[in-house]
Amino acid sequence: MNDCIFCKLVRKEMPSKIVYEDDTCVAFLDVMPRSKGMCLVVPKEHYTFFDENFDTSSKAFDAALIVGEKIKKALDPLTVFFSIIQAQVPHFHIRVYPVYEDQIPLGENQPIETNEGELTELATKIKSVDVDWEPKKKEVVEVIKEVPVKKKEPEPKEKSGEEKSENKEEEKKRQDNKDFWRKRDWEMA
């Protein structure tokens, strides 16, 4: 998609502070972070929802884990949150939020103030960290959508003489009950 801002960042047509890159994804610092060092992991292929490309989405999650570990080692936050929230940019991405005692990154919070120098310093710190983990090779699994199948109603069976007799008795009881209440209502009126 030509006018997608994330596609432009992936193609390096716009400047960004890249902290991680592999064959499938690019991770860069968010320029309007909710916490110091917040990153976005973006697949190089343009699609909007994770289920449009399970293979690439799976690799994006692996990349997010690597970026989260780089952030933990480089910036020493209390923990790291991950989220997938469809937002202003319709390009699938994973947000990686460092959590600090004084910065709890919630989507409704205002972005924290930052500047070019700070972003450059953070990117350098995060990018320099080596993570001793490599994703395992995954088998590609084909996802097949289920199609609901209508169940066939069983055909009515021929009733035996005994069942017919029981049904006639039940019908007679119901009719007698109705007659009783009609007669009672008539007498009360």
Instruction: Give kind and range of the element (H or E) at residue 7.
Output: helix 5-10
19/122 Cα distance (integer angstroms): 9
Does some domain include residue 23? Answer: yes
CATH code, domain with 25: 3.30.428.10
Residue 28 has pLDDT above 80, yes or no: yes
Neighbours of 59 (CB within 10 A): 20
pTM listed for this prediction: 0.68
Q: Give the range with max mean pLDDT: 68-82, 85-99, 106-120, 151-165.
A: 68-82
Tokens representing 53 are: 């490309």
Residue 18 has a pLDDT of 95
Does some domain include residue 152? Answer: no
Tokens 């202003």 identify what position?
A: 88
Query: Which tens digits make up the pLDDT trace of 107-156?
Result: 667 788 888 899 988 998 898 898 887 777 766 667 677 777 777 776 66
Residue 141 has a pLDDT of 65
Amino acid at 136: K
Does some domain include residue 57? Answer: yes
Mean pLDDT (the chain, rounded):
84
Q: What is the mean pLDDT of residues 2-18?
A: 91
Residue 1 has pLDDT above 70, yes or no: no
Number of alpha carbons in the 13 Å side-chain half-sphere of residue 147? 0
Does some domain include residue 117? Answer: yes
Does some domain include residue 63? Answer: yes
23/59 Cα distance (integer angstroms): 10
Residue 8 has pLDDT above 60, yes or no: yes
Does some domain include residue 87? Answer: yes
Beta-bridge partners for 42 = 26
When divided into structural domains, the chain yields a total of 1
Does some domain include residue 139? Answer: no
Does some domain include residue 146? Answer: no
* Domain residue limits at 87: 5-128
Q: Give the range with max mean pLDDT: 23-27, 146-150, 169-173.
A: 23-27
